[in-house]
Amino acid sequence: MSTPLEQARAIAQARHFLSELCVPSKIKRIPREVRREARNRLKHMPMSWDLSRIVNEEGALDHMQEIEQHYFDQFWKEMEDGR
């Protein structure tokens, strides 16, 4: 189980990783499509000051949970298919 500090660090590190993916001189040989996706995700990645607004926005957490469930299900299906 992760602590809140570990979770906060993971969000900040994920944001940093996406930004590194966007810069060709930082990480070499990344396909353009991957860089484009990183930019698209980074554009809407929350900063620390956005988190309280997200938590208090009606429906935002429910929407996030629906999206997470979709990706979770997709991940495990792909894992089973890859056996």
Helix axes 4-22, 32-44, angle to 10 degrees: 130
Instruction: Give the chain's mean pLDDT.
Output: 94
Q: Where are the alpha helices (DSSP H) in the chain?
A: 4-22, 32-44, 51-56, 60-81
User: pLDDT tens, 42-66?
Assistant: 999 999 999 999 889 999 999 999 9
Residue 40 pLDDT: 96
Residue 23 pLDDT: 94
Residue 82 pLDDT: 82
Q: Is residue 83 predicted with pLDDT exceeding 80?
A: no
Q: Is residue 30 predicted with pLDDT exceeding 90?
A: yes
